[in-house]
Every structure is written in structure tokens, then in C-alpha cells.
């Protein structure tokens, strides 16, 4: 008997995979994978590297993204996630349990800070926040129960470059993994594993994706065992990415080197313009010789980053007027995309910080943060010069 209408509408179109491989990675937009025999299914569940069972565990499009970023970061394994916070939370939860302790850099991205300051303690994980620019302070904060040292390659909005080799030395001496958020640097500018990091995390929403059209994350591991532990945590937390999101990030990564060079060139031009402007009190861009971590930037970064911040004479009110006066630059959260974005950290990205924590992190009330995009440099210069006049 021929299959009925409903059966055919569901199964008739399932074609065998073509012998000719597609050049671009296909979007494997499927939640699950079909097996012909139960033993193969059971085997693949036991040996997840040998096949695909279910997209929350692994998916070919996602695996292509993981392999690409792992290669760029010099990692043994990669793990893509639904967001940068998904990667950060999964990695930290896979390393620290109740009774354990984490040492973290003080001036972190607000979401990471909030996770460590407010959520981690609810699960019995204690966190010490230290000045990561002071390796002795990091060493002094270590306890027998410390399970991770957490830092950012380039901390925004101050654009402080972390002394990764010094942090890695402290971590190695204590046999504690160094976990580094490399979102702002990207592997184009810095590969923390080369400097001794055990785990690298990214918000792929930013430069890896690069076009403000996807939310994603990825974690990279120097050792496969640490990946496997984190992966088991991730599939239980359900932090896995959607295949289409993974595909968008994968497509973005193909032009990462071109974009990072252009972001850096536009950022240099704006940093120099702002630095020479009478209404600007201070510019934070590690490519400028006066930046406190310019020396580390020269040593650890393969070029200037695409983000900068500046303090306006006139404080909070001048900052607000500036971000509302730009025309080309848009007032929006996020960073690392083709569009130039401006923001006011004290009231947005770092709103979770108390006034004391803000001051300790070096974030002034009038500070403006800029994620420099890929527009024509002349248009950005004109936009900023005009907005400075309004401010």
C-alpha cells in the first residue's frame, strides 16, 4: 500500500546527501539525526566525537564553527554556545563547585561581573575581585580552594591590556586554570593560549560575528579533557547554539582579519583626533603611547584594537549630549560590528557596578565608549567633530 498524504508530506523529500561537497558549510537546521540501527545510535551517544545525535549535544554546522575558532586560537577543542554569557557561565560552572573559589579581574564586562559577584555566591562559589594588573595581588588572593583565575585580554571601557604571561605564571604555579575573555582582542590580535591561558571565552556576538545580526559564544580549551567537562555541563544547562546562529558566526569569521585591520585603522584615526581635541580630557586606546598599558599592547597585540573610550570635559552631562548628537555612530549596546556604536558605560554596560566599584574599575561618569565600525574614516571624523561641538 502506498504511503498516505501525511506520511509523504513528511518523508517523501528526504534525499541522500550529494556526493559533491558544498563549498560553504551547510546550515544543518535539524534538532536530531536519524540512525538505521540501535547499536550505532547507542555507540554515538557513548562516543560523541564519532557522530551526531541531537543538536543540543552537537551539530555539524556548530562543529565547523568550533573547529574554525579553535584553530585560530591555537586550542585543542572549541565549544560553541548560545551567547557569550552562555560560554562564560558554562566554563565557570564546570570549573567551580560549592565551596570553591575564583579570583577575578575587577574591571570585567558587567554581565561577567554580575555572574561572579551575585550568582556564583548563590551556588556556594566565593569570588575575590582583584586588580589583575598586579600579579602579586592575584597571587595573594589565591586559596587552596581556588579553581580559576578569570581575566579579559582587553577590559573595556578602560581598554586595559592584561599581562597574560604574568597571570599565566601565577596560575601555573598554583596549578589553577587561567580563563581569559578574548572578545575585544579576538584571535586576530591576541591568542591567550599562546601566553599560557587554559581556557578562552568569547562573545561571538561581537567581532567574530561582526555584523550585529547574531548572538553567540564560544569557549576554547588548551586541553581536550577540560573541554569534555565543560561540554557535559553545557548540554545540561542547555546553552547550545542554534545551527543558523553558528552559521552566521562562521560566515563572519571568514572576514575577521580584514575587519580587525580596518577597525584598528579607524580607531587609531579617531583616537588621535580625540586626543588632540580641547574638549576631551583623556583618551583610552592602548595604541596611543600615553595609555597605561601601551607597553603590554605592543608586546601582546598584533595591532590596535577597534574600541576606545574617552572622558569629556563636562562629565556626565557632556557625555550624554555627545552620544545623542552623533549621526553616523549609533547609540546602542554591544560592540565589534561594522557599525560604529557609542555608549555611556556608567548608565548602561556597567550599570551593575556600585559607585565604588565603578571608581575602582576606573570608569568615570563622563566616559564615552566607542566601538569603532567600518564606515569611511572621513565620515566618522566629521561626525565626532560635530558631536564634540554639541557636547
Ligand X SMILES: Cc1ncc(COP(=O)(O)O)c(C=O)c1O
Instruction: List the catalytic residues.
Output: 56, 109, 181, 206
Q: How far is the CB of 181 from ligand X (least distance, A)?
A: 5
Q: Rounded to an integer, what distance in angstroms lies between the CA atom of residue 272 and that of residue 373? A: 16
Q: How many residues does the chain have?
A: 391
Structural contact between residues 365 and 300, judged by C-beta atoms closer than 8 angstroms: no
Q: Rounded to an integer, what distance in angstroms lies between the CA atom of residue 28 and that of residue 325? A: 43
Q: Rounded to an integer, what distance in angstroms lies between the CA atom of residue 109 and that of residue 382? A: 30
User: Three-state DSSP class for 79?
Assistant: strand
C-beta closer to ligand X: residue 280 or 358:
358
C-beta closer to ligand X: residue 305 or 366:
305
Chain position whose Cβ is nearest to ligand X: 84
β pairing state of 178-181 and 146-152: parallel
Q: How far is the CB of 25 from ligand X (least distance, A)?
A: 21
For residue 159, give the C-alpha cell.
581598554
Q: How far is the CB of 350 from ligand X (least distance, A)?
A: 10
Structural contact between residues 78 and 67, judged by C-beta atoms closer than 8 angstroms: yes
C-beta closer to ligand X: residue 273 or 357:
357
C-beta closer to ligand X: residue 128 or 334:
334
Measured CA distances, 87 to 200, 230, 232 (Å): 9, 9, 13
Give the footprint of ligand X on this chain (CB under 6 A).
Answer: 83-85, 109, 111-112, 152, 181, 183-184, 203, 205, 215, 217, 334-335
Q: How far is the CB of 125 from ligand X (least distance, A)?
A: 19
Q: Rounded to an integer, what distance in angstroms lies between the CA atom of residue 106 and that of residue 83? A: 22
C-beta closer to ligand X: residue 115 or 280:
115
Q: How far is the CB of 238 from ligand X (least distance, A)?
A: 15
Amino acid at each position: 500500500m502506498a504511503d498516505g498524504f501525511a506520511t509523504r508530506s513528511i518523508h517523501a523529500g528526504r534525499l541522500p546527501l550529494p556526493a559533491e561537497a558544498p563549498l560553504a558549510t551547510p546550515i544543518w537546521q535539524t534538532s536530531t539525526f536519524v540512525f538505521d540501527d540501535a547499536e550505532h545510535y547507542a555507540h554515538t551517544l557513548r562516543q560523541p566525537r564519532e557522530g551526531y545525535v541531537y543538536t543540543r549535544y552537537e551539530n555539524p554546522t556548530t562543529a565547523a564553527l568550533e573547529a574554525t575558532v579553535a584553530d585560530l586560537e591555537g586550542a585543542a577543542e572549541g565549544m560553541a554556545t548560545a551567547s557569550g554569557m552562555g560560554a562564560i557561565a558554562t566554563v565557570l560552572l564546570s570549573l567551580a563547585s560549592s565551596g570553591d573559589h575564583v579570583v577575578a579581574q575587577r574591571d570585567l564586562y558587567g554581565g561577567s561581573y554580575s555572574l561572579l559577584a551575585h550568582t556564583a555566591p548563590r551556588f556556594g562559589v566565593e569570588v575575590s575581585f582583584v586588580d589583575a594588573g598586579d600579579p602579586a595581588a592575584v597571587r595573594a588572593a589565591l586559596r587552596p580552594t581556588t579553581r580559576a583565575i578569570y581575566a579579559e585580554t582587553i577590559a573595556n571601557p578602560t581598554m586595559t591590556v592584561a599581562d597574560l604571561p604574568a597571570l599565566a605564571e601565577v596560575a601555573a604555579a598554583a596549578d589553577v586554570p587561567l580563563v581569559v575573555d578574548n572578545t575585544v582582542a579576538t584571535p586576530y590580535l591576541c591568542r591567550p593560549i599562546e601566553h599560557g591561558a587554559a581556557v578562552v571565552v568569547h562573545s561571538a556576538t561581537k567581532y567574530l560575528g561582526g555584523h550585529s545580526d547574531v548572538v553567540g559564544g564560544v569557549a576554547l580549551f588548551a586541553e581536550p579533557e577540560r573541554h569534555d567537562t565543560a561540554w557535559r555541563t553545557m548540554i545540561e544547562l542547555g546553552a547550545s547554539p542554534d545551527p543558523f546562529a553558528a552559521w552566521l558566526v562562521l560566515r563572519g569569521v571568514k572576514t575577521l582579519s580584514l575587519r580587525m585591520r580596518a577597525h584598528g585603522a579607524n580607531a587609531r584615526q579617531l583616537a588621535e583626533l580625540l586626543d588632540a581635541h580641547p574638549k576631551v580630557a583623556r583618551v583610552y586606546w592602548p595604541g596611543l603611547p600615553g595609555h597605561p598599558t601601551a607597553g603590554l599592547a605592543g608586546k601582546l597585540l598584533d595591532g590596535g584594537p577597534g574600541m576606545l573610550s574617552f572622558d569629556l570635559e563636562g562629565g556626565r552631562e557632556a557625555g550624554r549630549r555627545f552620544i545623542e548628537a552623533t549621526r553616523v555612530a549609533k547609540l546602542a549596546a554591544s560592540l565589534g560590528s561594522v557599525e560604529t556604536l557609542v555608549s555611556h558605560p556608567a548608565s548602561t554596560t556597567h550599570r551593575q557596578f556600585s559607585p565604588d566599584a565603578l571608581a575602582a574599575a576606573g570608569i568615570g561618569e563622563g566616559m564615552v565608549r566607542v566601538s569603532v565600525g567600518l564606515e569611511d574614516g572621513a565620515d566618522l571624523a566629521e561626525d565626532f567633530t560635530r558631536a564634540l561641538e554639541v557636547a
